[in-house]
Amino acid sequence: MLYINCPHCGMRSQNEFSYGGDASVKRPELNKEVSDQEWDNFVYNRKSLRGKHLELWQHISGCRQWIKIERDTATHEIFRTFKADEEVA
Amino acid sequence: MTQAFRIENGGLINKDKKLSFKFNGKTYFGYEGDTLASALLANGVHLVGRSFKYHRPRGFFGAGVDEPYAVVQLYRNGETEPNIKATEQELFEGLEAKSVNCWPSVNFDIGAINNFLKIFLPAGFYYKTFMWPKSFWYRIYEPFIRKAAGLGVASTKHDNERYEHKYEYCDLLIAGSGPSGLASAYAAAKNGAKVILAEDKPRFGGSLLTSDVNIGNQSGKDWAEGIIAELKTMPNVVVKNRSQIFGYYDHNMLVMSEKVSDHLPSTKKYHPNKRLWYIRAKEVLISSGSIERPIVFGNNDTPGVMLSSAAKEYLKVYGVLVGRKPLVFTNNDSGYETAIEFKKHGVDPVVLDSRKNAESEIIDEAKNLGINIKNSHVVVAAQGYKKVKSADIASISEDKKQLGKIENIQCDCICVSGFWTPTIHLASQSGNKTKYKEEIDAFVPGQSKQNEITLGAANGVFSLNETLKTSFKAGSELSKKITENDNEIAIPNVVEKKSSQHDKFWCVPLPEGKNYKRFLDFQNDVAVSDVEIALREGYRSIEHVKRYTTLGMATDQGKTSNLNGLQLVSEIENKVVPSVGHTTFRPPYTPVSIGAIVGREVGKHSKPTRKSPMHEWHKKNKAVFVDAGVWLRPRYYKKGNENLFEASKREAKNVRTNVGVCDVTTLGKIDVKGPDAAELLNRVYTNAWLKLPVGKARYGVMLREDGIVMDDGTTTRISENHYHMTTTTAQAANVLSHLEYYLQLVWPELNVNVVSTTEQWAGAAIAGPKSRDLLQKLFPNSDVSNEGLPFMGYTEGDLFGVKARIFRISFSGELAYEVNVESDYGNFMWEKIIEIGEEFNIQPYGTEALSTLRIEMGHVAGSELDGRTIPYDNALEGLVSKKKDFIGKRSLQRSAFTAENRQRIVGVVPLDKQTSIPEGSHLVKDDKAKLPNPKLGHVSASCWSVEHDNPFSLAILKDGKNMIGQKLFAMSPLKNKVIPVEIVSSHYVDPKGERVRS
């Protein structure tokens, strides 16, 4: 079970969190013309990366904040965690 | 019964407390502190079971967790548990156990005929033998295999034992209380670190309990006892015996199974049977020791053949002689230690040492005691069927290929030692890439992956002196990193005998003309010849050989067989062992009870049960409940002998004619507050929300980004910046997460807060033509007329002193209201409604009537919003705004979603107006068409229309828009029904929606 450093609450076990997918995906702006391809990329097309991956999690049984986690999908190593509005350098 | 093989003096058992127990129906006696195995051996019982495949007689091979044979069915306090290792099960008064895998008895087992048919049961026989004819599989082969295979029998009764889970954190977790575990725990504890020390056996001390060593002028055992006693007094230390750390998971999470009650005749009140510990450790010290490995020879599975270390443990810990004429067969000095112990107790052993000449302090001691030692000698085969009677021995050439003249010598047990295999399971599970250590012919942990370090014998270090030094140091250094204390500890002086190099020898060649079975894996009956076949048939990868032969796949996970298997493969393949590699170690290290893994999450505790504040009233009034997600909701209220169908029909009819009341507390409720609340709703829902006035409710549909309907519900503007959103019962949690996602990540600029208020409000839906009359009486001071509170209106009222929210919304399609009060007043509200409603013939209605009412109205619910439908499919396209953007809108342009013949909701009525259509039925054009019959749609929900008094269903049908009036067939192969139907409008009652506005 992963041990996740929630930027709001500190170290918590994985069973308090729920996974939310790729954090690098940006939703196209509202009311903007979007091509089929662009929309499909947003809704469906994801890379299944092996290695370092920036992903979203929600601390669902804790502070309920969505956070970003930089994790290695192969080794489960967690490098850093970020608040939702924190810029990932 | 006398315990003929118990010695007078010695052993760590309590001879003052005699215990009686039964094995295979016969009563025996043992002592407190015995295991079932040691007590049976004390009584001279060696035959405990039959082997898995050939049903050969099997005895005891080990004295602990590595035991491959002595697996029994245990009976304790009216419960039975299969696959208990007799070598681990502690004796208690009244214990009962039976042999497994034998019929009719362990002494006479019909399955033993397999031993003579073994030519038909080679490696992979499952894959070869039972292949044809195909039809035989279900009727003949599978039942036969199921009967013949397997070990114990699982109980079919409810398990009355309790199992607990515990979460724990510590600085240092130490697995194993042998010398390295004790030393490192002590050093770390002295530095103030929070330490958990786990030992799987009842006694602490590991190898110190049986080895002849001296630490700081005390025997190893006394030193261990002293350390444990001191650790137990320290508040920062937890020491746990009978506790097996069986799994090493990510981020230094380890799981330990503590046997709290297995050693007692029955579980004490308020105690669990087992406790599963989830331990998050900053550092892990693996001091799991090593397991002696056997040398392979003919008939090496005969009862009486056992590990030499086990024989020594039975003698030193339990005061039990495993034989009176022991033969020790060894390739290293450990066998001599066992021989010396025998000799000290007046028993004359014979030692066969495969080495030509070996010299060490231990061997000198054996020689001085006058022990008969034969160098360059091996056991060729054990003789005797149910017990070793003699051994064929021979000298062996230096290249270990030629046997000398075979000679038969009498013996009643053969104690075998093929050197030691470090127990690296935990290290390997942690991700450690193990490496092969040539000097010991075994794998040891390599580079650590997590925060783990392996010490002592588990790391391939067999010198006590070195083990203690490194362990004190490791315990001290690791704890210093955490606590920043540095208390110096004097390392005690160690006296141990030096040993000499072991012989790289593991398998005795077959003598000419003999075809003895030489077993590698004792539990799964895998012999040398089986692995040879697998390799001959082209299996190369050790993982494939393992699966084809089942080597190492039994419940003992190959603890005694893996390395010998690897040696064999490497020998035949002419490879070195490290390039063959070992199979993956996976948790659990040793079998763990399913009960312990499940813990207390069984039966009604498997998920939380949520009850509305009116639950007790429903119960008193004969509600029959149904699970709605985690909620319990009344399905119907039983009157007299009514069944579900009759009751729901009565309840629904009463709503259509009088007034009914339904508990709608379970609906998800979310408070949406903030200046941008309207903007959020406008983006989340498909319809327009910016102009909803205060005091008005609106029905909304929300989509996922892929255009699929996520949920629906009404949202009411309570005040300028305050909205009350309702969701379906099932989606409440998901909708909240969904809103939080957009607020926190996508549109953080919106100034809105959302919070769940589901539990804060109790809700009652009052529906039916007489509902307004009732409402007026409930709220005499409010104007609830059609003008004062029109459809989709909202007001607040005073319910006999209780503040209430009144929504004029309807799911039933009737004139209806929903009243919410704070949860604590829920029951008060409900009783008032029932009391005052009496004059209007009010009846409570459950979810079944609720469904009936919504289905015949054509209102969609979870069975239509099933994660596969878009608004159009549910006839909700009128709610999709063309002007504004919202979540999922762009997806609705996908060609499949705009197709002319897109699926759409329709009504379905059976032509005979009698036959109810099973939900899930497929709609097809031709009931006689060849399979697979093309599916046009499916029936999503069915009811008995109380308005029309005939069955009615909703369906999602391809090109539904143009199908009204068509005649199709509803087919349900599951229910074996074919029903001719007509497609009608989904609005079967009040298609213009006049009632809700009346």
The pLDDT tens digits of the residues spanning B25-40 come to 999 999 999 999 999 9
Shared domain check, B427 and B380: no
Domain enclosing residue B59, as ranges: 14-126
CATH value at residue B556: 1.10.10.1100
pLDDT average, residue stretch B837-841? 98
**A1 contacts B249? CB cut-off 8 A:** yes
CATH value at residue B77: 3.10.20.440
Closest residue to B885, CB basis, from A30, A43, A85: A30
CA-based nearest distance A85→chain B, Å: 7
* Domain stops at, among B78, B108, B126: B126
Whether the pLDDT of residue B141 is over 80: the answer is no
Shared domain check, B262 and B303: no
Span B946-989, pLDDT tens digits: 999 999 999 999 999 999 999 999 999 999 999 999 999 999 99
Span B625-655, pLDDT tens digits: 999 988 999 999 999 999 999 999 999 999 9
B575 part of a folded domain: yes
B197 part of a folded domain: yes
pLDDT at B222: 97
670-689 of B, contacting A, C-beta below 8 A:
683
Phi, psi angle pair for B52, to nearest 5° = -60, -45
d(CA B592, CA B952): 52
CA-based nearest distance A52→chain B, Å: 16
Q: How much is the mean pLDDT over chain B?
A: 93
Shared domain check, B267 and B387: no
Let me know the angle formed at the C-alpha of B987 by B982 and B990, rounded to the nearest 5 degrees: 125
Q: Using pLDDT thresholds of 50, 70 and 90, give the confidence band for residue B680.
A: very high
Shared domain check, B209 and B195: yes
CA-based nearest distance A57→chain B, Å: 10
d(CA B159, CA B153): 14
> What are the extents of the domains in chain A?
3-25+39-83
pLDDT at B117: 62
pLDDT at B412: 97
Count of domains for chain B: 5
* Residues of chain B contacting A60 with CB distance shorter than 8 Å: 737
pLDDT at B119: 59
B599 part of a folded domain: no
* Domain stops at, among B126, B154, B179: B126
d(CA B829, CA B779): 11
Shared domain check, B77 and B34: yes
Q: Tell me which residue has tokens 């390997």.
A: B428
pLDDT at B150: 55
* Domain stops at, among B540, B561, B583: B583
Span B355-387, pLDDT tens digits: 998 999 999 999 999 999 999 999 999 999 999
CA-based nearest distance A60→chain B, Å: 8
Lowest mean pLDDT segment, chosen from B50-59, B186-195, B625-634: B50-59
Whole-number percent of chain B with pLDDT over 70? 95
* Residues of chain A contacting B754 with CB distance shorter than 8 Å: none
**A2 contacts B737? CB cut-off 8 A:** no
Whether the pLDDT of residue B305 is over 90: the answer is yes
Shared domain check, B334 and B407: yes
The residue of chain B with its CA nearest to that of A23 is B745
SS3 track for B867-917: CCCCHHHHCCHHHCCCCCCCCCCHHHHCHHHHCCCCCEEEEEEECCCCCCC
The residue of chain A with its CA nearest to that of B255 is A1
Whether the pLDDT of residue B146 is over 60: the answer is no
Closest residue to B280, CB basis, from A3, A31, A39: A3
CA-based nearest distance B205→chain A, Å: 31
d(CA B877, CA B873): 8
Shared domain check, B79 and B193: no
* Residues of chain A contacting B737 with CB distance shorter than 8 Å: 18, 58, 60
**B251 contacts A58? CB cut-off 8 A:** no
pLDDT at B545: 87
417-436 of B, contacting A, C-beta below 8 A:
431
Shared domain check, B385 and B481: no
Span B910-954, pLDDT tens digits: 999 999 999 999 999 999 999 899 999 999 999 999 999 999 999
Whether the pLDDT of residue B701 is over 70: the answer is yes
- Which residue type, as a one-letter code, is found at position B280? R
The angle, 0 to 180 degrees and rounded to 10, between the axes of the packed helices B542-549 and B528-536 is: 120
Task: Give the number of other Cβ atoms within 10 Å of residue B140's Cβ.
Answer: 12
B802 part of a folded domain: no
- Which residue type, as a one-letter code, is found at position B196? I
pLDDT at B118: 62
The residue that leads in pLDDT, B182 or B524, is B182
Q: What is the ipTM of this complex?
A: 0.98
Residue B776, helix vs strand vs coil: helix
Mutation choice for B interface testing from A3, A43, A88 by most B CBs within 10 A: A43
The residue of chain A with its CA nearest to that of B248 is A1
pLDDT at B629: 85
Shared domain check, B257 and B171: yes
d(CA B883, CA B890): 12
The residue of chain A with its CA nearest to that of B279 is A1
Whether the pLDDT of residue B511 is over 60: the answer is yes
pLDDT at B121: 64
Span B755-806, pLDDT tens digits: 999 999 999 999 999 999 999 999 999 999 999 999 999 999 999 999 999 9
- Contacting B with CB below 8 Å, chain A residues are 1-3, 13, 18, 20, 27-28, 30-31, 34, 39, 42-44, 56, 58, 60, 64-66, 75-76, 78, 84-85
Span B211-223, pLDDT tens digits: 999 999 999 999 9
Whole-number percent of chain B with pLDDT over 90? 83
Q: Using pLDDT thresholds of 50, 70 and 90, give the confidence band for residue B137.
A: low
Q: Using pLDDT thresholds of 50, 70 and 90, give the confidence band for residue B110.
A: low
B704 part of a folded domain: no
Residue B731 CB contacts under 8 Å (≥ 6 apart), including other chains:
B668, B710, B711
Enter the CATH code of domain A3-25+39-83.
3.30.2270.10
The DSSP output letter for B699 is E
B611 part of a folded domain: no
Shared domain check, B277 and B426: yes
Mutation choice for A interface testing from B451, B685, B741, B890 by most A CBs within 10 A: B890
Q: Is B604 in the A-facing interface, judged by CB distances under 8 Å?
A: no
Shared domain check, B527 and B426: no
**B683 contacts A66? CB cut-off 8 A:** no
Low-confidence ranges of chain A (pLDDT < 50): none
d(CA B270, CA B86): 27
pLDDT at B303: 96
Shared domain check, B374 and B508: yes
d(CA B561, CA B525): 11
Task: Give the number of other Cβ atoms within 10 Å of residue B83's Cβ.
Answer: 17
Q: Using pLDDT thresholds of 50, 70 and 90, give the confidence band for residue B77.
A: confident
B965 part of a folded domain: yes
Q: Could you tell me which residues are beta bridge partners of residue B494?
A: B215
pLDDT at B274: 97
B538 part of a folded domain: yes
Q: Which helix (H) or strand (E) holds B96?
A: strand B95-99
Closest residue to B251, CB basis, from A2, A20, A43: A2
